[in-house]
Chains A and B, each alone.
Chain A
Amino acid sequence: MDTSNRPPLTPGDGAPGPGDGGPAAAGVTELYQAHAVGLIRLAIVMLGERTAAEDVVQDAFLGLYRHWGRLSDPAKALGYVRSAVLNGCRSVLRARGRPRHLAAVALAGDAVESAEAAALVSEQHQAVLAAIRALPGRQREALVMRYYADLSEAEIARAMGVSRGTVKSTTSRAVAALARMLQEES
């Protein structure tokens, strides 16, 4: 995607209401520069579409910006954003799952990205990714965080808002379901 025509961010640039101006923008920008690519990767694994992944991450950082003043511990900001990205992915997936069926024409950019991404991923991987996206939402999240993001059970539990035991059982069920689907496809 060509993003060259987007204006660069400067600290305090257009800071809206609840944010506290310069420090918030600077803090969020620093975090974005350090983790945006990784979080977009996490989102594209969940969603399979780059534009949607970028939007989810942008929204997550915007949410952090708006609530920066209420963040009790800045060290927890990354965890907050990661949870927000997962929430955003859930929203997108739910929106896709709702009864709305349209022929969509990407006017520019995003579909090219998706097509290019698909071209770069082998058919074998695409089949696995399709199966992963066929998992129930929580199973998919647990699987992605465990086997893609390499997060610990405790970190996954915090991100998903569930207990470690639930993470363990959910991940186990996800792997079993995935194995069944891949076996059926083969």
Chain B
Amino acid sequence: MNATEDRARAAMRAIAATVNDAPPLELGQRGQGAGGRAGTGSPARGPGRRWRSWAAPLTAAAVITAVAISLVLVRNLPGGSGAPAGPATATSGPAGSLPAGVPRYYVALKQLPPKKSTSLDAFQYAVVVADSVTGETLATFTPPANTIFQSVTAAADDRTFAVLAVSPAERFQNDHGTVTGSWYKLVITPGNAGPDRVRLTRLPVKPWSWTAALVVNAAPAPGQIYASALSASGQELAVADVPAVAAASKPQNWIEVKVFSVATGRLLHSWTADDPDVRLTTARTIWQDAVPLGATGLTWIDGDRALAVATSSGGSGPVTGTVRKLDLTGPASGSLLADSTVLWSGPLSTNGNGRGGGFTLNDWPPQVTADGKSITGLSYTSPYATPGDVDFGTFPLGAGTADDKLTPVYRVQAVIPPRKENSQAEMAVLWVSPSGNTMIVCVAVSASTASFPQSARFLVVSRGRSTPLAIPVSMVASMTLGIAF
């Protein structure tokens, strides 16, 4: 046995040794459906079980009643220090109206019902275009043959979107082979009727390919797409990827940012970097590194004159997050590091200890406001406390560290009965206004870390007031990458 095998064996035994007992078997509770925990996918049902668990209202309702999430107003805004220590009365605005400037339409990837014959079913998404006020679905597009929709990005007009698709689906889902990424443009024209109301057309950006691997955090392939972002005007598409250069012997250290014309597909800008501390990988935890296609690492700022690029350092030690500004009025191509300025850089904590206690890995990359002056974040009183408070807020950029300067916009208080020890609340900022004082957020509750959410609330939060949105829980399937406003 060689040294690598020895190290692998020792490491695997070390983590295995942390398990010394097993919980009681729950055949009765699980088998009855309603009231049982959502599972992780049994061999009898296959991957489609996840979808079916969402489609079982009785099961979901039982879980919802057991796990209460209360939304609590943060008073005395905008000063973060004025946040109350205890719960306050929740304040919700009436459904049917939105604060000024908040986009009304959204495009989401909705998981398709499974077909029994293929293992790909759980990972197929339709593009759904809907009205977040009325709940009306304007259009639904199923993916082209053997293609998977992967992420959505929006312009600022609430009418123009871009969808990233990958094909062939089988290779992408089976972890091997060459796959190709391409983009579609989606335009909503509310005044039109029929098929002209929403149009989905292929963008002229030339598709490119890479070698697929399911877990690619340590070894992404040259050409692999990390993120894409449509400019506020909808006229340009920015893409972050691994450059397809022979020198990329450690492709995880390379990133490239390209800007294309949406009208012609022409490459307008290209910057590259080769630095282990400048990665677009989403380092969630040491166990859950992932490189989702379409990560929110790119944001157009300053009226489409600049791009904010959020990166993090690699390795197994402390992780540093950095937000850079790439000026599009400068050279058309060059070094991403030399041609950018650092807006903010600071440590990312592995959990959110303490109010205002720093940006977490789970929350990175953040949403950057269009004015380029702040990033969104979450902070927790304690992730293990009952109840636990979570603040949605913004951190100012460019003025020292952002660690202790969270300005809370809204607070969620998660309250959970002690018997539901496995439950988990997942929160995300899905959209932020140019100034950072208004957000669209989601709070989703899962029965366990391995199951899909059973309930979710989409809310506009602004100046201490929340407005519920008419978005169903099924749209949680792929957020935050799979929903755009």
Contacts and interface: CB of A to CB of B under 8 A. Distances in A.
Interface of A: 1-3, 5-9, 13-17, 19, 25, 28-29, 32, 36-37, 40-42, 44-45, 47-63, 65-67, 83-84, 87-88, 91-112, 114-118, 120-138, 140, 143-144, 147-148, 175, 177-179, 181-182, 184-185
A19 B122 CA distance: 26
B9 A147 contact: yes
Contact of A125 (B2, B14, B425): B14
A25 B31 CA distance: 12
Contact of A110 (B363, B448, B477, B480): B448
Contacts of B352: 105
Contacts of A66: 31, 42, 44
A65 B27 contact: yes
B89 interface: no
9 contacts: A55-B422, A96-B290, A99-B293, A100-B480, A104-B426, A106-B384, A110-B421, A126-B316, A128-B7
Nearest to B295: A101
Interface residues of B, number: 111
A136 B449 contact: no
B476 to A, nearest CB: 8
Nearest to A35: B22
Contact of B292 (A40, A97, A127): A97
B448 A52 contact: yes
Contacts of B296: 101
B428 A101 contact: yes
A102 B426 CA distance: 6
Given A41-B19, A101-B282, A178 B424 contact: no
Given A45-B16, A105-B424, A107-B424, A14 B28 contact: yes
B202 interface: no
A177 to B, nearest CB: 7
A55 B450 contact: yes
Contact of A47 (B8, B176, B284, B287): B287
Nearest to B426: A102
A83 B44 CA distance: 12
A15 B12 contact: no
B7 A181 contact: no
Nearest to A181: B218
Interface of B: 2, 4-5, 7-33, 37, 39-44, 47, 50, 67, 109, 122-123, 150-151, 173, 175-176, 213-219, 250, 282, 284-290, 292-296, 315-317, 351-352, 360, 362-363, 378, 380, 383-384, 386, 388, 390, 414, 416, 418-428, 442, 444, 448-452, 476-482
B151 A99 contact: yes
Given A83-B43, A125-B10, 8 more contacts: A93-B215, A95-B50, A98-B478, A108-B416, A109-B384, A110-B424, A111-B351, A136-B213
B8 A101 contact: no
Contacts of A97: 214-215, 290, 292
A178 to B, nearest CB: 5
Given A62-B27, A121-B18, A143 B8 contact: yes
Contact of B289 (A107, A134, A147): A134
Contacts of B216: 134
A117 to B, nearest CB: 4
Nearest first, the 5 A-B pairs at minimum CB distance are A14-B28, A48-B287, A16-B31, A134-B218, A91-B41
Nearest to B363: A103
B118 to A, nearest CB: 14
B274 to A, nearest CB: 14
A91 B287 CA distance: 16
Nearest to B382: A105
Contacts of B288: 48-49, 96
A179 B1 CA distance: 13
Nearest to A61: B25
A1 B23 CA distance: 9
A68 B243 CA distance: 52
A56 B49 CA distance: 13
B421 A2 contact: yes
B32 A14 contact: yes
Contacts of A93: 214-215
B454 to A, nearest CB: 13
Contacts of A19: 27, 31
